Amino acid sequence: MAVIVLAAGKGTRMKSRQAKVLHPMAGLPMIAHTVNAVIRTGFESIIVVVGYQSEAVQMSLCGYPFLEFALQKEQRGTGDAVMSAMHLIGDDFEDVLILCGDTPLLRPDTILGLVEKHRRETGSVTILSARRPDPFGYGRVITEGKNVLRIVEEADAGSEEKGVNLINSGIYCIRTDLIRGLLGDLDADNAQGEFYLTDVVEKAHKMGRPAVSMEVGDPEEILGVNTRVDLARAETSIRREKTRDLMLDGVTIQAPDSVVVDQTVRVGADTVIYPNNYLFGGTTIGAGCTIEPNCLIADSVIEDGVRVRCSSVIEESHLEKGCSIGPFAHLRPGAHIASRAKIGNFVEIKKSHIGEGSKVSHLTYIGDTDVGRDVNVGAGTITCNYDGKKKHKTVIGDGSFIGSNTELVAPVKIGRKALIGAGSTITKDVPDGYLAVGRSRQKNLIKLNE
């Protein structure tokens, strides 16, 4: 079985400069959902037809090195798109499975069911179809008994044909010898001036090789994404399935419809996710964690037993076991929080390591800093890491205490078990075990009249 995925169109109804199949859905480009469904069927010969923004589409699928690509130089319809890929299909393939890159809800078991019916019942064409109460916009499947006579596109349908609610999904299984012979006979004599792949069905019927149809149980599965409304609808379906799978795997999700989880996210058992959370990209959350409301976590690793308190943002960071984050904390890319460490409210960490058991509890900025074990950083501490041209590093040794409202002007090193007095501006290194104070002396100048 050779597989062709059609992904050459622009998608004008999306009203976007970006190719339709590149629009992100639950952490992946739309086209990747279709490709993943095919991969799970076990079919290995997969050809993606590209056209509009072809290089960008290919780049979006660079994680699938086994894919082949065929270029449709001009977007002249689905028939022309399939024709552009046929030179990559050898004669040893008896059948060709044709899918659309804009049907991201298609399930692997549906694909396998279509292929099984095709091999069992026909030597011609098998169409995946569905019944919809409102078939507007879809091609209508015109049948006689169990055979399909033809498929009529919306723009070419008469009033009687528009009343048919059996719709075409754009997904077919076709005998290779048949499709090779019929593609050259297609013409563009239709309302769109395009070469319709659907015309193959009527031509096959006239040859005495009638097509059959397989109706999918859930019409939503063959939803074609043509507008931003369709995009939101399909993405909502994908995300609901993802949260359902997580809950079946032992994750507690309160108000699951309020939680947005990308397909690429992994969460361990006994983790509790409160409402209004956003989990994006390659995020991995371990077992027994708590994610309080209104957090955004992207491309981060969170180990077992971590508590992320409400309204925190975590990006490209690593949180080790048992640490506590927030509320209202911001971990920017490169933050690494060791086990049992605490990052409190209104703390921002960027490109820094916070050692095991250390505490940065309040109103602090830590950037380009290596903080040792069991360090206490007081409220209002700022690492001054940028001199206007370059970033510089701060090092704070194990067991040190940084008093409140301290400025550490990088590059600077604070030794082990050092103590920095509150309100200090530290511009020089502090040796191990030293008390350092860098502030103006207080003067009580005059008694005010009562």
Query: Catalytic residues, which ones?
Result: 362
Report the C-alpha gap between 191 and 21 in whole angstroms.
Answer: 24
User: 3-class SS at 31?
Assistant: helix
Cβ–Cβ < 8 Å for 76, 187: no
Report the C-alpha gap between 225 and 102 in whole angstroms.
Answer: 5
Pull the structure tokens for residue 120: 């069992």
User: 3-class SS at 162?
Assistant: helix
Cβ–Cβ < 8 Å for 164, 136: no
Q: Write out the H or E segment, with its range, that includes residue 360.
A: strand 359-367
Q: Pairing mode, if any, of strands 313-315 and 296-298?
A: parallel
For residue 71, what are the β-bridge partners?
50
DSSP label at residue 233: H
DSSP label at residue 250: T
For residue 409, what are the β-bridge partners?
384
Residue holding tokens 């379906």? Answer: 237
Our CA angle for 351, 404, 442, nearest 5°, is 135
CB atoms within 10 A of CB 79: 23
CB atoms within 10 A of CB 183: 19
Cβ–Cβ < 8 Å for 69, 58: yes
Buried b / exposed e along 205-243 (16+ C-beta atoms within 10 A): beeeebbbbbebeebebbbbbbeeebbeebbebbbeebb
User: 3-class SS at 50?
Assistant: strand
CB atoms within 10 A of CB 255: 12
CB atoms within 10 A of CB 438: 17
Pull the structure tokens for residue 77: 């319809």
Number of C-alpha atoms within 13 angstroms, CB side, residue 77? 19
Report the C-alpha gap between 147 and 158 in whole angstroms.
Answer: 20
Pull the structure tokens for residue 445: 């100048």
